[in-house]
A and B are shown apart, each in its own frame.
Chain A
Amino acid sequence: MKKLLLLTMMVFLIGALFVSCGGKKEAAQTAAPAATTTQAAPAAAPAAKPAAKLKVGMVTDAGTIDDKSFNQGTWEGILKAQNEGLVEAKYLKPSGTTEADYLKEIGNLYDAGYKFIILPGYKFETALYIAQDKYKDAKFVILDGEPHTADYVTYRTEPNVVCVIWNEHESGFLAGVAAALHIKEGEVGFIGGMEVPAVQKFNWGWQQGIKYANENLGTKIVQKQENNLYQGSFDNVAAGQQIAASMYDKGVKVIFAAAGGVGVGAINETKSRVTAGKEVWMVGVDVDQYPEGLLPNGKSVMLTSAMKYLDRASYDMIKAELAGTFPGGQTLHFSAANNGLGIPPVNPNLSAEVQAKVSEVSQLMLKGEIKVAGELLPGFFK
C-alpha cells in the first residue's frame, strides 16, 4: 500500500516536473512563431462574422511570411481585405520548396474549406498546373507566373486560375532614372540574387533607366560590367555585404539590390558606410524598403525602391472575386500603365524636383512614348 502511494506521488512529481519544463520551453518556443501569431491575431479579431465569408488561403514561397518581399506583400493585400471584413484568411508555410510540398499545402487549404488560394511566385507554376485540374471548384491566383508542365512544353491556364505578371523592367527603369537624377554623376552598381527572369528584368530596366537619364536628362552616370553581378542565392547576407563593400571601394555611389537576403547584407554595409560619413545609397526592391534602411538618427539609406504592388494584386483579385468578375483563365500584366508598379509615392530622400521628373517619365511610359524592353538589349550587361 505504502509503495503504491509512493508510486502515485512519483507520477505526480514527474508530471509536475514536465509541466514546469514545458513552461520554460514554451517561452522560448513562442518567441519564434510570435510573428506569425501576431499576424494571425487580426484573423480572430472580428468575432461577429457572418457565416458564409469567402475563405482566402495563401501558401508561402521559400522564406517566411515577414520576408519584406513577396510573401509579405501578398499577405498584406489579403490582410487588407480581411480587415475590411470581406474575407477570412489563412496562410500555410510548406515544409520544403518542392512541387510536392506546395501541392500538399494547397490540398490542406482546400480540405479546410479555403477555396480561393493565392500563390506568390513562379515556383508554384508546376504545382498549380496539377492543382487547377485536381481542385476544379477552387479558384487560384498565381503571382509572377503561369501554370505549365515541368518540362515547359505545355502552358495551360484553366478558367479557375488567374495569372498576374509584372513588368519589372519598368519598375527598374523608374528607379534607375530616380537614382541617376539624384546623384547626377558617378558610378552605380547592381546586385542580383539568382539569375531568374524577375531579377534579370529589374536589372535590364535599371540599366535602361540610367542610360535614358544620361541621354535625355543630362546626367553623367557610369555603368560597368564589374559592378553588375548576381550573387547566386537569395539568402547569403554575408556575401551581399562583401559585394557591396567591394563596389563602394571601387567608387560606386548607388547600389540597386534585387536579391532578398543578399540585399539585406548590402543594406547593412551601406548603413555602416553612411554612419562613417560616406555618401552612398541603396535602392530597394519589390516593396518600399525605406524602413529597412533606417539609421539610428531617423534617416534612411534607401533612396527609393523599385516596387511591384503585390498587395494590390492580391487585394484586387479578392475584390474581383467578391464582385463576381474574377478574370479566370487570363494573364494580367501589371505595368506602369495600369499603376501596378513604380517607385513609392513618398521618397523622403529624393528632392521634389527629382520626384516630379520621375513622375513625368512615368507619364511618358504610360503614354507609350518611352518603351522599356523586358529583355537583354545589345550594349547592356547580362
Chain B
Amino acid sequence: MKVRFKSNSFVIALSAVVLGLIAGGIFMAMIGSDPFEGFLYLFKGGLMNIERIGNTIATATTLILVGLSVSFAFKTGLFNIGASGQMLIGGLCATLVAHFVNIPRPLYLVVLIAAALVGGAIWGIIPGLLKAKFNVHEVVATIMMNWIAYWSIFYFVPAFLKGPFLETESKSILLEKSLRAAWLNKLFGGSQYINLGIFVAIVAIILIKFILDKTTLGFELKAVGSNRYCAEYAGIRVNRNVIISMMIAGGLAGLAGMVFYTGYASNMQIGVMPSMGFDGIAVALLGASNPIGVFFSGFFFGLLQSGKGFMNAMTDVPPEIADTIIATIIYFTATSVLFKRFWDWVARLLSVKFDKKGGN
C-alpha cells in the first residue's frame, strides 16, 4: 500500500508558522522571560473574550484584503508593493463618499464600495500600463505611486477635508456613515472597530477564487504568471492581462483602504503611510497566494498584531518580539523550498517503508 502524503502549501505554511513561533519562544527565553507565559498572553490578548475576538477580526480584515491584492498580482507574476498607496487613494475616495453622499444606507454602501474599488484600481492601473507599454518595472512604479498618494493626501486632506481644529487629519466621518454596525458591535461584546468590512473581505475572497479557478480570465492571468513568453506564444495577450491584473489588485487594496479608513478608523491622517500595505506582502507569502490561504494567514497575523499589546502589558516581553515572530515566519516562508524538499523527503522515506511492509 502506498501512502499518498505530499507536501502542500498548507503543510509548508504550518511549518513556517511553527518554526517562527519556536524562534520567537527562543528569543523570549533569551531575554529571560517565560516563553509559554508570553505566548499564552499573546493569544489571550487576541482571543480572550468575544470583544477581543472582534478586535482581532477587525485588525485582520484589512490585512486579508491587502494580502488578497498582493497575492492576486503574484499570480500574474507581478509584485505589487503599491498596496499602501492604493489603500490611501481607495480610502480617500471612500472618505469623500462618506462625507458628501447622502442616500439610503444599502445604496450608500454600494456607492462606497464602488468608489473605493475605482480609486484603488486607478492607482493600480497606472503601474500596469507603464509595465505593459514601456516595460517600467512594477516594483519601481508602485513604490513611486505610493509616495504620490502619500503627498497628494498630505495636501488634499488639509485643503478639502480639514477638521475643525487639526491640520493633520481629516474631519471624522459620521458614525452612521462608517462601516461599523451597531448589531455587529453588540454581537462582539462591544468591540468598537469590528465592521462590515469582514463581509466585504469574504465576498472578495470568494470572487477572486472564482475568477482564478473558473474563468478564462483567471486561466490567462495564471498562464502569464507562470511563463509570459509561453503565454504569448499560446496567443494570450500578455500586456492586457498585466493591466487587468494590476487593476484588480489595486481595487482590492482600495477596498482595504475603505475598510481601514471608514471602518477601523474614522478619519484620514496625513503623513502616515499605512504599514498594512507592506504587511500584506507577508500575508500573501504565508498564504501561498491562495485566496483561502490568505484568509487564514491574514487572520493569524491579525491575531499576532492584536495580541502583542496585551502580552506586553502582562509580561516584560517587548512588543517587538511579536514583530520578530512575524519577521521570522516570513523568513521561513521565503525559504519554503527547503520545507518542500524536507517534507517530500520524509514522505518518500515513509512510503518506502510502507511499501516494504506491503511487499511482505
Contact = CB atoms under 8 A, between A and B. Distances in A.
Which of A3, A32, A108, A197 gathers most chain B CB within 10 Å? Answer: A108
Q: Is chain A's binding surface mostly helix, strand, loop or mixed?
A: helix
Nearest to A149: B172
Contacts of A233: 271
B23 A105 contact: no
Nearest to A40: B316
Nearest to A114: B313
B134 interface: no
Given A18-B19, A104-B55, A108-B309, A195 B167 contact: yes
Interface in B172-199: 172, 174, 190, 192-193
A100 B264 contact: yes
A111 B41 CA distance: 11
A37 B319 CA distance: 11
Given A108-B45, A108-B313, A114-B313, A152 B163 contact: yes
Which of B58, B305, B319, B352 gathers most chain A CB within 10 Å? Answer: B319
Interface residues of A, number: 52
A94 B154 CA distance: 22
Interface in B309-360: 309-310, 312-314, 316, 318-320, 324, 328, 342, 346, 349, 352-353
Given A22-B23, A97-B272, A130 B192 contact: yes
B26 interface: yes
A138 interface: no
A18 B318 contact: no
A330 B319 CA distance: 34
Contacts of B342: 14
B306 interface: yes
Contacts of A40: 316, 318
Contacts of B164: 151-152
A231 to B, nearest CB: 11
Interface stretch (A23-31, A46-54, A77-85, A277-285): A23-31
Contacts of A30: 31
Which of B55, B193, B265, B312 gathers most chain A CB within 10 Å? Answer: B312
Nearest to B166: A196
Contacts of A197: 165
Contacts of A235: 271
A112 B165 contact: no
B73 to A, nearest CB: 24
Interface residues of B, number: 51
B69 interface: no
B275 interface: yes
A99 B266 contact: yes
A96 B306 CA distance: 11
A103 B30 CA distance: 31
A46 to B, nearest CB: 14
A152 B154 contact: no
Nearest to A62: B272
B139 interface: no
B267 interface: yes
B309 A37 contact: no
Contacts of B312: 90, 92-93, 108
Contact of B313 (A57, A151, A194, A196): A57
A175 interface: no
A332 interface: no
Given A33-B320, A111-B310, A152-B165, A98 B269 contact: yes
Interface of A: 3, 7, 14, 18-19, 21-23, 25-26, 29-30, 32-33, 36-37, 40, 43-44, 57, 90, 92-100, 103-105, 108-109, 111-112, 114, 122, 126, 130, 134, 150-152, 194-197, 232-233, 235
19 contacts: A18-B19, A36-B320, A93-B319, A97-B272, A98-B264, A99-B266, A100-B58, A100-B193, A104-B55, A104-B309, A108-B310, A134-B190, A150-B266, A151-B164, A151-B172, A151-B174, A152-B163, A194-B168, A196-B168
Interface of B: 19, 22-23, 26-27, 30-31, 45, 48, 55, 58, 154, 163-168, 171-172, 174, 190, 192-193, 264-267, 269, 271-272, 275, 305-306, 308-310, 312-314, 316, 318-320, 324, 328, 342, 346, 349, 352-353
